[in-house]
Amino acid sequence: MPTLTDKVALVTGGATKIGRGVVEVLHKDGAAVIVADIDAAGLAQLPEEIDAQHCDISDDTQLAALISGIIERHGRLDVLVNLAASYLDNGAETSRDDWLTGLNINLVSGARLSELARPHLAQRGTGAIINFSSISSAVAQTGRWVYPVSKAAVVHLTKLQALDYAPDGIRVNSVSPGWTWSNVIEEVSGGNLEHADRVAAHFHMLGRLGRPEEIGRVVSFLASDAASFVTGADYAVDGGYGALGPEQRDPAIPLLAP
């Protein structure tokens, strides 16, 4: 089991369902955890031992204040998890403003926060950044343009950061979750996890949705010294979604018979 004892971790978007799963695992594994989120109500529901901070990650002034506050309160920063995201997407009909908003939140804000955190992550030579991509980064999904494009860019950003931050001893990796019990899926499914699992079964080799804590365990590994030789990689935490292919579970060859 990875240990994060004596590490300080910042998680953006940590008030979401997936975010809370990540936060809970990091905290259980020994890290002091700061959550930055724009959702004040969600922040209020976090356990009191979590350092909850209201922050709009698209505002550089707020990002700078966030980092300086963490250093003032905790003395250092060892791990950054860029999890916060926007699902704003109307496919081909997405307006220019919505395109820019989606890219700003999903891509640019994480890049800016990483750079602001860089000198602090570099201090002990064992810093780690975990960016959140998605299975949407690698496949075509009808009616969705902004989110998949932004998440594909995150995968490449991760490689670029890994290269440029390596001299500072900072490792950078990304995770790409499959369908996971999240705020969005809870809303769409009417809060019915069993129904959501049944729908997800056809698209995932493991026959169900992922759980937030399952994503959290991979993040915790990447944040820990157990992953000391891992950088520039994207981890598919997707129950086999990405490997399944377009034929899914249905044998296609028999369909060729006349």
Residues forming a β-bridge with 37: 54
d(CA 171, CA 226): 12
Amino acid identity for residue 189 in this structure: S
**CA-CA distances (angstroms) from residue 110 to 63, 80, 252?**
10, 9, 41
Q: Per 3-state DSSP, what percentage of the chain is helix, strand, and coil (rounded to 5)? A: 50, 15, 35
Give the Cα-Cα-Cα angle 223, 132, 231 (nearest 5 degrees).
45
Closest CA to 57 of 4, 15, 18: 15
Residue 55 and residue 81 in contact, taking contact as beta carbons nearer than 8 Å: no
Residue 53 and residue 63 in contact, taking contact as beta carbons nearer than 8 Å: no
Q: Is 211 helix (H, G, I), strand (E, B) or coil?
A: coil
Residue 133 and residue 174 in contact, taking contact as beta carbons nearer than 8 Å: yes
Catalytic residues: 147
d(CA 209, CA 88): 22
